[in-house]
Structure formats: C-alpha cells, structure tokens
Chain A
Amino acid sequence: MSVAISRRNFLKAGASGAAVLLVGINPRGALAAGQQSTEFNPFVRIDADGMVTVIIKHFEMGQGTTTGLTTLVAEELDADWSRVKPQFAPSDNAKYKNLAFGSQGTGGSTAIANSFMQYRQAGAAARELLVKAAARVWQVAPQQIRVEKGVLSAGNHRGSFGDFVELAAGMEPNPEPILKSPEQFQLIGKQKLPRKDSKAKTNGSARFAMDVKLPGMRYVVILRAPKFGGKLIDFDASQATKISGFVDAKALPNAAGVAVYAENTWAALQARNAIQAQWDLSGAEQRSSDQLVADHRAVNQSPQHQAKSDGTEQVAALVDAAPRRIEAEFSFPFLAHAPMEPLVCVFEPTANGVRVLDGCQFPAIAHGTIAAVLQLKPEQVEIETLYAGGSFGRRATPTADYHVEAALAYALLGQKLPVKLIWSREDDIRGGYYRPMAQHRASIGLDENGQIIGWDHRITAKSILIGSPFESVMVHNGIDHTTIEGVADSLYTLPKMSVGVTNFETPVPVLWWRSVGHTHNAYVIESLIDMLAHETERDPVELRLSLLDRSHKEQARLAGVIEAARDLADWKPGQKRGFAAHYSFNTFVAVVADVSADGDKVHVDKLHIAVDCGVAINPDVIRAQMEGGAGFGLGAVMRNAITLQDGEVVQSNFPDYQPLRMADMPAIEVRIVSSNEAPTGVGEPGVPPTGPAVANAIFAVTGKRILDLPMTNSGLSFV
C-alpha cells in the first residue's frame, strides 16, 4: 500500500498512455468523470489494471481516515477491498475542502461526517459508468450486470474494472447516482475490515515527514525564547562552529529565535546547545503557575460575559436563597499534546516555487501562510501530505506556527536548498500551544426535594479562537464557543443556569487539544452531576436519565448510550463504580469506570464504553478510537500538567511529562449503539467522559473528590 505517491504522478493521470477513469466533483459541484483531472477534483481513480485509488482529502494521524473514506468509495463501487488503496489529495482548498468548515483541513471529528455522501456518490457514479460501458460492450441492458468485488458480469460475460475504464472515461456520469440502502452494505458496518495503513506501519515503510531526506537538505532546529513572548536581541554561535556538521545560525526575522542549520539532526541539536542568546523578556509571561491559578480564580469572581439568558446575579440570588447547595471549584492545568512524532516539515524548492512535505492537518491555513511568508503566489506552493505521527490538534494551528518557522528558515537560505525543520521533544513540551488552563466555579441551589432550582457556573480560560481566523465564526459577544462547549449547551435539563465567562490574558499560546473545551467542561459537569447524585442519595445513572427528555432527539440519544453503558457494565445502584456521559462533536459516549485503590494508590481496572456515532462505518476503527481517546484522556487527568516557574516551563520531556504507559491502561470494552443516523466523528468524543468517569469511581471507592487536576495534585498515585 502506498499513499505517498507524489502529486506529480497523480496529475499525470492518463499521460502515460494507459487508460484511467477519474471520477470527482467539478467546480459547479456536479459529478464529473474523465481521463484528465484538470477540470475537476477526482475522488476516485481506476487504472487499467483495475486498481482503485481513493483520493483522501483529510490527513491521517491515526484516526483511520484512510480506511474510512476508502470504505465509502469501495462500498458503492463494489470493489475488492484488497484492490483499493488510499492516496492523499494535494493541497487545494477549492477542490478538497472539508464541507464542515469550507476549507481544506481536518479537525473537530468531521472527516467521516462531511465526506459520507461525497465519497459514496463518487463511488456510485464510478460504478454506474463502468456498468454503462460494460453494457455497451456486451450489448446487454445495464440492469443485467452484476458487480461484485471488482468484477462485472452478465450471463457468460465477465470483466474487471480495468477493462472498461477507457470507455467509461468518455461517458457523462449520472448527476444523481443511486446509492445503496443500508441493508445493501457489504463493507460499511463490517466488524473487521483490515486498516489500509496497517502493513506500512508495521514494517517501517510508512513515510512520515520526519523520515524525509533530500539531496543537499539542511536540518534546522530553532533556539526559542526561554519564556513565552520573549524576543531575540542577539546571539553568539562561536562555540557551535566546533561541532562537526554545523553549518550556520541565523536570527529569524520575526525575532522569535535563532535558526540553527546543520548537515544532520544530531549536529543541529548539539550546535543549538552551544549557542548563547540574549532575549528581551519585557513582554514575556513571568508568572508561575500558582500565581496563574490565583489570577484565574480572582477574575472568575466577576465574569466578563454571560453565555445564557439568565444573568449571573439573578441566578446567584436564586442559589443563595436555596435551602441546599452544592459548591465546587475546579482547576485545570495547561496540557501539551505531545504527539509521538514531534513537529517537523520539509521545504523543497521546485521549478517555480516550493513543495512542502508535511503531515499537514490544515492545508488551507498552511498553504496561504507559506505563500505569504515566502512572497509566492498560492499556485507556486504545493503541499504533499504524509502520514502524521499523531497530532491531537497540535498540527493545526490558526497561525501555522511551525510552517512559518520552516518558511523563514528556508527563506534565510535564499529558498534554494531543501530545509527540514525538526522539533525535539523538549521543543514540543516547552513550546506552548497548550490546552488552556481553566478555572471553574459552580454553585448549585436545590430545593427541599433535591431538585435543581439554580445553577451558577463561571469559567475562566484563555480563549483559543479570539484573534484567529476562526473568531468571526466561533466567537460571539466575546464568548469563545470552545470555552463553554459542553456546559452552556449541556443536554441535561438544568433549570435557571447562568454561565459566566472570563477570557484570561497571558502570552502563553493556547490551542485546541483532542476534544477542545470538552476536556475540562465534561469533567466539571459530570463531576457535579455525580456530586448531585451523592448529595440527593440518588443513583447516578437514574439521576442522569431523569434529566433527559426523550422527546428531544439528542437527549434521547444520550439517554440511549447511558443505558447501553449501564447494561454493558451490568451497573447496579450502590456499587462503588464511576459513571459519566457526554455529547461532543455530534457523538454520544457514556463510560462506566472500575478502579481499585489501596490507600492513595489507585489503579484504573476497566472502562465500559458505549458510543452512538450514527451509522458505524468501520466498527473496529470506532472501537480503536474509543480505546485511544479514553487512554489519551486518562493519562492527562491522572498525571499531566505543564507548569511555569517565573514564566519558564518546568517540564521538558517524557520523564517529567509522564505519558500513559502500558501498565496504566485499563481493559476496555466498547459497545457501539446501532443507529441509522448520519455518521459522526469518533476521534475526540471518547476523551471527555473518561476523566470524570474515573474521578467519580475514585470518589466512590476512596471518598476523595478530585477538583484540582491532575489527580496526582490530590496526593493520589497510580500503580
């Protein structure tokens, strides 16, 4: 399997003389087919040998897109799974946009959802064309032709896809090809369909940007300011010249640091250590984490904005007057994404511009930004997408931060030599773009019967989107939707709720992190519901179900996964276990957590997860994403925090930003709730409910309610 064929080959479709059928969408949004792709964007390519290539407009960070989108085409085409391969699309915003954002990029668990109809239509159109061509050759009616595993047949006639591509490519596609009905699916929903990227990733052949080496290439690392917001004044590289393989060091024109060039990675890393730099830190963050937490708490008292119609004072008064109250404050630290492959990208000069080799999550932003930095026209920039060694959001920044660094380093060498920018793990952990710190305060007023009569919620966090190109869409009246998602729009019926919001100010750059605001918001809501259950002596599952109205579609689906998780885990009231459920990215997930504890030593033994993500395209990929999402969320709440000491990041690598390891991983059982709704994302939704399910289990077992994250702050250790 190869998805790394370059764009040059891809655009030369048909040029070699061999016939090829391309099917895609033209600029007017209609299905189009032919031998050449100049006029439209192909999603499917079928070669004369019958090999089917599915053009993947999203990148692959492990979430399974190359398998998922390939499944959609192969299904409608009735292709042979072993004769279908994915290939990444070139960066072309007009042609390969994510229909959820209107620009090319991956995020928000949208890849399958926005591609579902588009890729199926392309597959169905291709199938109809092949059938039409075969019907003409065989002189039979199209209805007499069967298609099975890449073979067309009618009576005694048999032929493969490849036999008909030439004829089919000259025909007009049906503008509205007939799609299969769910009962006809052969591949969609199949319990086990081998991943398309499995083999290349188990024999070392999968190509990541970290693996690119080009003739004459310079390896670059950047010496950055020790504190966020610092500016370079001057540097001395005289000691670096002693390092064999060191080439040069140059100040970045934006004063963000020094680009250190070498003939190999090791020399670049060593040379950087030998460089002395002076920084202007007058505009930099100088505070320590304790102070930052105190400052968050202080401003959280009087919210800047109100996300709900009931005002802060009005609800506070209701809560104050209530006979019973639940009050809690929660603190969340900055978190690094720490994708397994540190950030990296390669710039290569081409005849009239530049080619960027990158595990590119958001080509739409990277492409334009690179062109602007290099003063090139967009058509002079190509991006070749390679496998990404994880991202969790880090590879998509609204500022294209690492692309800008690489572009500047490339420009400083006159745009003549290939340049590979490499981040070390230390750069990654200390480099910012964190999940924001967040502070929550909730006061819930209850009547004598334990019914909620007011819920005063206040959140302070730095906004991810204010000042970004997404501000106009995602920020309303000063409120960044990602700050409040999962709280202000909670599916539970929470009468008289106010959600005060304060946008914290700090030079520390923040970013979406797998499931974004839900990372802290689900933890808070699901902990509070558990506290409410405890306070009112109700079963946490029964209480949750009582807060959901089944005549409301989303609430009914959340109730559905709550019941599914309850049944899967054989949950009984009174057991010492934890429960949480959350709705995010249009997907519903509920989790039952089993933990054991010996004093303050805790082990998470098992998670029982129920998910409703609409039509389950690749059930095994969905299970894998639930396992991975749960593990990602779990490791963070257990023991991860980025902290600052006088503005400097304390942690630097895995020994002090300790990731989840094999022995920490609980057993996981996943139940996928069957559904005929349109498919929704699974990359993120497993993260939000896992932390609170475990926290609620820890409370059930130890009596400790964990409000300050990570959990190790409360004296717990994990064995």
Chain B
Amino acid sequence: MAIQLTINDQLHHLDVAPDTPLLWVIRDQLELTGTKFGCGVASCGACTVHLNGTPIRSCVTPISVAAGGEIRTVEGLEGSGDPIAEAVQQAWGEKDVVQCGYCQSGQIMSAVGLLKETPNPSDEQIDSYMSGNVCRCATYVRVKDAIKTASDKLEG
C-alpha cells in the first residue's frame, strides 16, 4: 500500500503493508535507528515517537494509522526549534542520565510529551506519565531529576 509519511519534517513515499508497525518502517526502512525496539507490545516505551505532537508507542501503531501524519523521532529533536526538546536534551546531559542508553530515546520523547502537557509536573505526575518507559539500568532517579531541571529552566 502506498503511504505518505512526514518524519522529522521530511516527506516520505513508502510502499508497505498497512499493518506493518511504524517502528519497523522507521528503523529498518528509513534507518532512523534512534527509535528502539524493546518489547514490541507497548510495554517498555523504547519505541516512543511523536505522532502529531503526541507520544505514541510505534511498535503497536500500524503504519496505516500514522499515514498522512507528522512523525518526530529523537533524531528530529535537535534543531527542531522546540524549546522543550532543547531543554530536555540539555538536562539529560547535565544530569548524565544515561547508562546503557538504549531506553533513553524513548524516555526523552516521553519527557518532551509530558512537559508539553504539564509544564511543571509534580513527582506523582512524572511517575504516572513516565510509567510506560522502562529503564533496565534503573536511571529513574536521574530521569526524574532531569525532567525537573528542564521544567525549571523552561519556567524560569
């Protein structure tokens, strides 16, 4: 099936089966490998991307659902001019959040989504919004810290 998809402001014309998960189109076909495969069942958040500005789990999103939409992946955050994305990535560096790093694209995409919705989240709001993003290295203390740092910077 012919599909049009805008990813990181670039239009792509693709021919894929409509039930193919967006994740595999992004990774295997378009080679945007910052978006990760962790579980394939919407249970870890490693595959989080934004569809029309909202975080989604691309591993369970059929390409047909994303067709015609605007997708943003972690590679598209830098230079996107989005102050929230910039603040989040910067806070991640300041706090040295990463360990193995494999979950971090997803964490960052979710964190940007959270701060868009709730610019000044409480601990409970962070816990609940980020609950779908697993980090097996358990960097949670720093993820939370970095979200607050980014929020403070944006508020200030």
Task: State the A residues within 8 Å of B (CB).
Answer: 60-64, 192, 194-195, 197-208, 210-211, 213, 219, 244, 264-266, 269, 338-342, 387-392, 424-425, 620, 624, 627-632, 634-635, 653-655, 659-663, 665, 667-668
Which of the residues A265, A342, A390 comes within 8 Å of B100, measured between beta carbons?
Answer: A390
Complex Cα spacing A264 to B16, Å: 12
Complex Cα spacing A213 to B29, Å: 10
Complex Cα spacing A695 to B44, Å: 27
Interchain nearest-CB distance for B40 vs A (Å): 6
Query: Is residue B52 within 8 Å, beta carbon to beta carbon, of the partner chain?
Result: no
With A202-B108, A628-B139, A662-B133 known to touch, is A340 a contact of B100 (CB < 8 Å)? yes
The reply to whether A341 and B102 contact each other, CB–CB distance below 8 Å, is yes
Main secondary structure of the interface of A (DSSP, over half): loop
With A340-B135, A635-B138 known to touch, is A628 a contact of B89 (CB < 8 Å)? no
Which of the residues B27, B93, B104, B131 comes within 8 Å of A265, measured between beta carbons?
Answer: B27
- 7 A-B pairs with CB atoms under 8 Å apart are A204-B35, A204-B75, A204-B105, A392-B136, A620-B96, A660-B134, A667-B141
With A62-B98, A628-B99 known to touch, is A202 a contact of B136 (CB < 8 Å)? no
The reply to whether B36 and A389 contact each other, CB–CB distance below 8 Å, is yes
- Residues in A with CB closer than 8 Å to B108 are 202
Which of the residues A203, A655, A663 comes within 8 Å of B74, measured between beta carbons?
Answer: A203
Complex Cα spacing A194 to B96, Å: 7
Query: Is residue B56 within 8 Å, beta carbon to beta carbon, of the partner chain?
Result: no
Listed residue (A195, A219, A388, A620) with the most chain B CB atoms within 10 angstroms of its CB: A195
With A266-B21, A425-B38, A654-B44 known to touch, is A340 a contact of B140 (CB < 8 Å)? no
With A199-B93, A659-B136, A665-B140 known to touch, is A425 a contact of B100 (CB < 8 Å)? no
- Residues in A with CB closer than 8 Å to B78 are 203
Interface size class of B (residues with CB under 8 A): 35 or more
Query: Is residue B143 within 8 Å, beta carbon to beta carbon, of the partner chain?
Result: yes
Complex Cα spacing A207 to B130, Å: 25
- Residues in A with CB closer than 8 Å to B46 are 340
Q: Mark B13-40, 1 if CB is under 8 A from A, else 0.
A: 0000100110010011101111111111
- Residues in A with CB closer than 8 Å to B29 are 264
- Residues in B with CB closer than 8 Å to A207 are 33
With A203-B74, A662-B143, A667-B141 known to touch, is A387 a contact of B101 (CB < 8 Å)? yes
The reply to whether A654 and B39 contact each other, CB–CB distance below 8 Å, is yes
With A198-B96, A389-B36, A662-B126 known to touch, is A266 a contact of B134 (CB < 8 Å)? no
- Residues in A with CB closer than 8 Å to B43 are 653-655
Complex Cα spacing A424 to B101, Å: 19
Complex Cα spacing A257 to B109, Å: 37
Query: Is residue B41 within 8 Å, beta carbon to beta carbon, of the partner chain?
Result: yes
- Residues in B with CB closer than 8 Å to A202 are 74, 89, 92-93, 97-98, 101, 104, 108
State the 5 A-B residue pairs at the shortest beta-carbon distance, nearest first.
A204-B34, A631-B138, A389-B102, A201-B101, A62-B99
Query: Is residue B152 within 8 Å, beta carbon to beta carbon, of the partner chain?
Result: no
The reply to whether B24 and A627 contact each other, CB–CB distance below 8 Å, is no
- Residues in A with CB closer than 8 Å to B11 are none
Complex Cα spacing A631 to B134, Å: 12
Interchain nearest-CB distance for B20 vs A (Å): 6
Query: Is residue B103 within 8 Å, beta carbon to beta carbon, of the partner chain?
Result: yes
Listed residue (A219, A635, A659, A661) with the most chain B CB atoms within 10 angstroms of its CB: A661
The reply to whether A197 and B98 contact each other, CB–CB distance below 8 Å, is yes
Which of the residues A195, A210, A339, A660 comes within 8 Å of B138, measured between beta carbons?
Answer: A660
Complex Cα spacing A253 to B144, Å: 49
4 additional contacts (CB under 8 A) given A210-B36, A425-B41, A627-B138: A211-B33, A265-B37, A425-B40, A667-B141
The reply to whether B140 and A206 contact each other, CB–CB distance below 8 Å, is no
With A660-B138, A661-B134, A665-B138 known to touch, is A340 a contact of B93 (CB < 8 Å)? no
- Residues in B with CB closer than 8 Å to A630 are 138
Complex Cα spacing A659 to B39, Å: 12
- Residues in B with CB closer than 8 Å to A265 are 24, 27-28, 37
Which of the residues A63, A204, A219, A264 comes within 8 Å of B99, measured between beta carbons?
Answer: A63
The reply to whether B96 and A340 contact each other, CB–CB distance below 8 Å, is no
For B100, the closest partner residue in chain A by CB is A62
Complex Cα spacing A392 to B138, Å: 12
- Residues in A with CB closer than 8 Å to B20 are 266
Query: Is residue B77 within 8 Å, beta carbon to beta carbon, of the partner chain?
Result: yes
Query: Is residue B73 within 8 Å, beta carbon to beta carbon, of the partner chain?
Result: yes
With A244-B17, A340-B102, A653-B39 known to touch, is A203 a contact of B140 (CB < 8 Å)? no
Interchain nearest-CB distance for A671 vs B (Å): 15
Interchain nearest-CB distance for B38 vs A (Å): 6
For B46, the closest partner residue in chain A by CB is A340
The reply to whether B24 and A264 contact each other, CB–CB distance below 8 Å, is yes
The reply to whether B100 and A204 contact each other, CB–CB distance below 8 Å, is no
Which of the residues B17, B33, B134 comes within 8 Å of A659, measured between beta carbons?
Answer: B134
Which of the residues B73, B137, B141, B144 comes within 8 Å of A340, measured between beta carbons?
Answer: B137
Complex Cα spacing A341 to B37, Å: 7
The reply to whether B136 and A208 contact each other, CB–CB distance below 8 Å, is no
With A264-B29, A661-B131 known to touch, is A628 a contact of B104 (CB < 8 Å)? no
- Residues in B with CB closer than 8 Å to A390 are 99-100, 102, 136-137
Which of the residues A198, A244, A264, A655 comes within 8 Å of B93, measured between beta carbons?
Answer: A198
For A338, the closest partner residue in chain B by CB is B136
The reply to whether B28 and A62 contact each other, CB–CB distance below 8 Å, is no
- Residues in B with CB closer than 8 Å to A210 are 33, 36-37
Complex Cα spacing A219 to B27, Å: 13
The reply to whether A204 and B73 contact each other, CB–CB distance below 8 Å, is yes
For B147, the closest partner residue in chain A by CB is A662
Query: Is residue B128 within 8 Å, beta carbon to beta carbon, of the partner chain?
Result: yes
The reply to whether A662 and B89 contact each other, CB–CB distance below 8 Å, is no
Interchain nearest-CB distance for B119 vs A (Å): 19
For A652, the closest partner residue in chain B by CB is B41
Which residues 67-117 of B have a CB within 8 angstroms of A? Answer: 73-75, 77-78, 89, 92-93, 96-105, 108
Complex Cα spacing A630 to B99, Å: 14
- Residues in A with CB closer than 8 Å to B21 are 266
With A204-B34, A662-B130 known to touch, is A339 a contact of B100 (CB < 8 Å)? yes
With A340-B136, A342-B37, A620-B96 known to touch, is A197 a contact of B75 (CB < 8 Å)? no
- Residues in B with CB closer than 8 Å to A667 are 141
For B28, the closest partner residue in chain A by CB is A264
Interchain nearest-CB distance for A622 vs B (Å): 12
For B74, the closest partner residue in chain A by CB is A204
- Residues in A with CB closer than 8 Å to B89 are 202-203
Query: Is residue B9 within 8 Å, beta carbon to beta carbon, of the partner chain?
Result: no
For A634, the closest partner residue in chain B by CB is B138
- Residues in B with CB closer than 8 Å to A201 are 98, 101, 104
Interchain nearest-CB distance for A156 vs B (Å): 38
Complex Cα spacing A202 to B24, Å: 21
The reply to whether B101 and A62 contact each other, CB–CB distance below 8 Å, is yes
For B105, the closest partner residue in chain A by CB is A204
- Residues in A with CB closer than 8 Å to B131 are 661-663
Complex Cα spacing A387 to B72, Å: 24
Complex Cα spacing A667 to B145, Å: 11
Which of the residues B34, B126, B137 comes within 8 Å of A62, measured between beta carbons?
Answer: B137
